[in-house]
């Protein structure tokens, strides 16, 4: 039985990215649920490398912190001065002196790279027992990219940076994708021989290929099937272009699994999102983070869900949710805001202009209109009247309100927490509930109404209201009758 290959992944993430014009390191700019660096690490993940080394430089502390979150097993190595890609790989290998087998080197700004392409490169390299293999691509416009120069037999002659290329070499459209596989021993030897005799005065990793070839070592080219995967970005315009390309790839993938996207061009789905068959996503919808949408559920239009679970057959319309859970066949919106730890059970409803936070809403219960439900538990099959506020904050601490099952609360209620309303209880419209309501009771907490007759005619004489009031009273008095002015 053959032994598994030893593999080390080196990600080059030290560059400043000046053209991004950002305080954020280029590799940390987000793209549909991951940073640029996160996408590259995900593409290399299936290689099951023995170790992953990330070369950091500009914004090193920020990049290290990000690695702690997304790839804690990776080893960050600081390149204090950016002296070229060859120098970066050399210090990376110095940090892992026992690295053997295959070393895979990937630029940190190629977020569209697929795991299958990285795996194919490595398999081709190891299968040919090559000293070095470069991933190439044929592109429509090679401006700014290193060129693959082949000899008369079609084999790799050299890799030339554009700034160092001749006019004939610049006309070539086969480019270096910045992704390589090397034999570790031969790579170490060649890195020690690199020169800075070039336009930038840097150690180019690509010069390793010429050194190995001149030494009679086998070097190879593996061409990517789709050049789009090899695209990097240098500014925010290019980043936006990559975002659109990734959006289209993600959306097409979901549609082919049985998800309906009614307008793919206005639908943005993070790569970390999960959708089940027969889910429907309407236009102008964004699904972010760890969001999941169940089978037959409908989301949108004009909806944003972040780290939110939508159950089977549920509906979310023109709403915003963060860290929420919408149960099976539940209904949200339009114009609802579910804040973190909002949980709707099966067939629960949160309706128009309702905001919830740390609220559990039981099966079949409804909060239909114009309400705020915070720090609350609502039982099953209860109804919360319109314009209700759960008063959860006393200026220092938050407090909890509990509404039982099969309760009916009136419109324009205030529940001043901590307070409990029992099962089957009612509260009258306009009540301010400050004490517990026993099961089955009716709570009335409002002042008695007092009508001051004739006030408008006395205090607002000559206004349209007074004229209307007088006409109404004259009509009530009937033919020949006289209406009293009242006191």
Residues with catalytic function: 369
User: Beta strands 320-322 and 366-369: pairing type?
Assistant: unpaired
Burial of 399 (C-beta count, 10 Å sphere; 0-12/13-18/19+): middle
345, 365 contact by CB (below 8 A): yes
User: Beta strands 156-160 and 147-150: pairing type?
Assistant: antiparallel
**312: helix, coil or strand?**
coil
CA distance 307 to 292: 8
Peptide bond into 334 cis (omega under 30): yes
Q: Per the structure block, which two tokens stand in for 168?
A: 């004939």
407, 385 contact by CB (below 8 A): no
CA distance 475 to 487: 20
332 Cα distance to chain centroid = 21
- The Cβ of residue 247 has, within 10 Å, a number of other Cβ atoms equal to 19
354, 336 contact by CB (below 8 A): yes
User: What Å distances lie between residue 110 and 96, 174, 228, CA to CA?
Assistant: 24, 17, 10
CA distance 294 to 328: 8
> SS3 string of 207-220?
HHHHHHHHCCCCEE
Q: Is 230 left (phi over 0), alpha (psi -120 to 50) or beta?
A: alpha
Residue that is written with structure tokens 């490398």 in the block: 49
Residue that is written with structure tokens 């538990």 in the block: 377
Residues in the chain: 487
**76: helix, coil or strand?**
strand
Residues paired with 183 in a beta bridge? 102
CA distance 186 to 189: 5
Cα 286-68-23 angle, rounded to 5 deg: 65
């Amino acid at each position: 039985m053959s032994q598994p290959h030893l593999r080390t992944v080196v990600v080059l993430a030290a560059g400043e990215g000046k053209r991004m014009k950002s305080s954020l390191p280029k590799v940390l700019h987000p793209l549909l649920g991951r940073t640029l660096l996160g996408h590259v690490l995900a593409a290399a993940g299936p290689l099951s490398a023995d170790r992953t080394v990330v070369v950091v430089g500009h914004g090193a502390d920020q990049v290290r912190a990000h690695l702690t979150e997304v790839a804690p097993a990776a080893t960050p190595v600081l390149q204090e001065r950016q002296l070229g890609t060859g120098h970066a790989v050399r210090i990376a290998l110095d940090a892992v002196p026992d690295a053997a087998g295959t070393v895979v080197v990937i630029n940190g700004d190629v977020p569209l790279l697929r795991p299958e392409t990285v795996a194919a490169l490595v398999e081709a390299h190891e299968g040919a027992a090559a000293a070095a293999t470069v991933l190439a691509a044929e592109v429509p416009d090679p401006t700014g990219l290193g060129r693959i120069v082949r000899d008369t037999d079609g084999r790799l002659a050299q890799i030339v940076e554009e700034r160092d290329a001749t006019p004939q070499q610049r006309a070539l459209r086969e480019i270096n994708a910045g992704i390589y596989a090397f034999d570790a021993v031969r790579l170490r030897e060649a890195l020690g021989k690199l020169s800075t005799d070039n336009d930038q005065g840097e150690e180019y990793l690509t010069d390793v290929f010429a050194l190995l070839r001149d030494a009679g070592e086998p070097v190879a080219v593996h061409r990517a099937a789709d050049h789009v995967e090899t695209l990097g970005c240098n500014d925010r315009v290019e980043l936006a272009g990559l975002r659109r390309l990734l959006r289209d790839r993600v959306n097409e993938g979901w549609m082919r699994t049985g998800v309906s996207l009614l307008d793919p061009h206005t639908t943005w789905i993070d790569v970390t999102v999960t959708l089940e068959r027969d889910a429907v996503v309407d236009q102008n919808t964004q699904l972010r983070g760890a969001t999941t949408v169940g089978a037959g559920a409908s989301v949108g239009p004009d909806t944003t869900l972040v780290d939110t679970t939508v159950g089977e057959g549920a509906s979310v319309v023109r709403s915003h949710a963060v860290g929420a859970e919408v149960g099976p066949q539940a209904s949200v919106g339009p114009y609802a805001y579910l804040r973190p730890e909002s949980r709707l059970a099966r067939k629960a409803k949160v309706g128009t202009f309702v905001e919830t936070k740390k609220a559990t809403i039981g099966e079949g219960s409804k909060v239909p209109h114009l309400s705020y439900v915070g720090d609350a538990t609502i039982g099953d099959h209860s109804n919360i009247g319109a314009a209700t506020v759960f008063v959860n904050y006393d200026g220092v601490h938050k407090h909890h309100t509990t509404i039982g099952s099969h309760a009916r609360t009136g419109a324009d209620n205030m529940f001043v927490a901590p307070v409990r309303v029992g099962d089957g209880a009612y509260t009258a419209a306009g009540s301010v509930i400050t004490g517990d309501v026993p099961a089955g009771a009716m709570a009335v907490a409002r002042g008695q109404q007092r009508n001051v007759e004739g006030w408008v005619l006395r205090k607002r004489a000559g206004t349209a209201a007074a004229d209307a009031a007088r006409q109404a009273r004259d009509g009530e008095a009937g033919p020949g009758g006289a209406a009293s002015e009242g006191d």
